[in-house]
Chains A and B, each alone.
Chain A
Amino acid sequence: MTHLTIEAIQQGLEDLPSLPAVVMELLSSIDQEDVDISVLARKVSLDQALTAKTLRLANSSNSGLQVRVTTIQQAITFLGFQATRNLITAAAVTGCFPAGQCPGFDHSAFWRHSIATAACARVLARRMRLNQDFAFTAGLLHDIGRLVLVTSYPAQYGAVLAQRQRDDRPLLDVEREMLGVDHVMAGTALAQHWQFSDTMQHAITYHHEPEAPGAGFLATIVHVANAIVHALDLARDENELVPPVSMVAWTALGLSQEAYLHVFRETEMQFEEMSNILMA
């Protein structure tokens, strides 16, 4: 198989389905404090499907709301801007890429894994007293490069998936061998294209090598969350395989077994409810 180049992937990004403009704005402003919330709320409200999904998430019991919200502005008032932005992002990206183009790629399993990783990363971040919103979004989007490859190169990626099944090896290794690029590189390219902040880009770039210099702690959180979700078997993928978990990352979190048992339980609780809404 001819190897792909990162330049070709970057060019192909233009042809990918685009997120609603307002979601791009939300994602690129994730670490800005001075965002005009009311303007964003109005823009989101123009997209009815997005608004409906976001409000269902906001009214689900794991958001902790005691009242029903019926507008984006209300959701922001009761849940806060950061939390609402997470819900909008989750609602938007899960509906953005078309399913069924690449043989052997299970779209639902992909999103189940991503949603669960977002939930788990948020739970871990809370334990570590770190920004839960960054963790949630990074967890949700950590494997987004797979969708880039699936959408831009469905036939080639289908071959990779078939080979991965035959060899039963980590996906990353098979991607590199057969394509010359991997989903981490593709994800980094998309994160740049979508103008994610450096923090978010690094989390995507280093989620398989959290011990790399400059990786940042968010990459450590996503790395461990990713492995936990594989181990919890939440994607319902028959051939599920737990990837290697860096001892450096594991030690950096420094959580006890008791803490992990709580993390597992909270992750499953949050995942169940979120996936019911997002995968509907």
Chain B
Amino acid sequence: MSTAHQLVSLETATAGMTLSDDILDQQGKVLLSQGTVLTASTIAALGRHDIALLPIIISGGPAAVIDEAAVTARLDYLFRGSDAATANPILHDHIAAFRLERGVAP
């Protein structure tokens, strides 16, 4: 996810909104992929899959700016003293990718 987004409840979602992220079903299968523009029928379909909140791209305003240095510094603090033999370094990398919106490494 690289764009500014907000969470919109399914009830207030309207046709024309664009998904900022993939929507998964209960089994983790992609129902609608990132960038899909919602229609009345896709909104109804999501209701049948127990989806309640949708990540929607905020149009107009500038994308939120991530202070990379601040995020990195805080993460280093949270993971201070982590032992290399634990899974902490992997978790650290995943969280960094999440916070810095780098997405999945190719």
Binding site for B on A (CB under 8 A): 61-66, 126-127, 168, 227-228, 230-233, 240-242, 244-247, 249-251, 256-262, 264-265, 269, 272-273
Answer yes or no: B85 CB below 8 A from chain A CBs: yes
Q: Is there an interface contact between A257 and B105, defined as CB atoms closer than 8 Å?
A: yes
A114 CB, min distance to chain B CBs, angstroms? 18
Write out the residue numbers on chain B whose beta carbons fall within 8 Å of the beta carbon of A273.
53
| A33 CA / B11 CA spacing, docked (Å) | 33
| Interface contact A64-B52, CB-CB below 8 Å | yes
Return 22 A-B CB contacts under 8 Å, by A number: A61-B53, A64-B50, A65-B52, A66-B11, A66-B47, A126-B28, A127-B28, A227-B87, A227-B88, A240-B77, A240-B78, A241-B81, A242-B91, A244-B82, A247-B85, A250-B90, A256-B104, A257-B97, A261-B98, A265-B21, A265-B55, A272-B7
Q: 14 extra interchain contacts, Cβ-Cβ under 8 A, other than A62-B52, A64-B52, A261-B94?
A: A61-B9, A61-B52, A62-B53, A63-B52, A65-B52, A66-B10, A66-B47, A126-B26, A231-B91, A233-B74, A242-B88, A245-B88, A257-B94, A260-B98
- Chain B's interface size range is 35 or more
Residues in chain B near residue A272, CB distance under 8 A? 7
Q: Which residue of A lies closest to B83 (CB)?
A: A244
Nearest first, the 3 A-B pairs at minimum CB distance are A250-B87, A61-B9, A245-B87
For residue A22, give the distance in angstroms from its CB to the closest CB of chain B. Answer: 27
* B94 → A minimal CB distance (Å): 5
Separation of A264 and B53 alpha carbons in the complex (Å) = 15
Cα–Cα distance between A262 and B98 once the two chains are bound (Å): 9
Q: Is A262's CB under 8 angstroms from B24's CB? A: yes
* B82 nearest CB across to chain A (Å): 7
Whether A244 contacts B52 by the Cβ 8 Å rule is no
Q: A61-B9, A231-B95, A264-B95 are in contact. Are A244 and B28 (CB under 8 A)?
A: no
Q: A61-B11, A64-B50, A66-B47 are in contact. Are A242 and B82 (CB under 8 A)?
A: yes
Chain A binding surface SS class? helix
B63 to chain A, nearest CB (A): 17
Contacts of B104 in A (CB 8 A): 256-258, 261
Q: Which residues in A have their C-beta under 8 angstroms from that of B35?
A: none
Beta-carbon contact of A227 and B91 below 8 Å: yes
Are A241's CB and B78's CB within 8 A?
yes
Q: CA separation between A269 and B56, bound complex, in Å?
A: 13
- A241 partner residues in chain B, CB cutoff 8 A: 78, 80-81
Contacts of A249 in B (CB 8 A): 87
- Other-chain contact of B53, A66, A250, A269 (Cβ < 8 Å): A269
Interface string of B42-77 (1 = CB under 8 A from A): 000001001111010000000000000000001101
* CB of B64, distance to nearest CB on chain A (Å): 15
Contact at B10–A265, with CB atoms within 8 Å?
A: no
In the complex, are the beta carbons of B7 and A269 less than 8 A apart? yes
| The residue from B24, B51, B81, B87 contacting A64, defined by CB atoms under 8 A apart | B51
The residues of B that contact A246 with a CB separation of less than 8 Å are 86-87
- Docked pose: A245 CA to B22 CA in angstroms: 28
Expressed in whole angstroms, the minimum distance between the Cβ of A57 and any Cβ of chain B is: 13
- Measured between beta carbons, the chain A residues less than 8 angstroms from B77 are 240
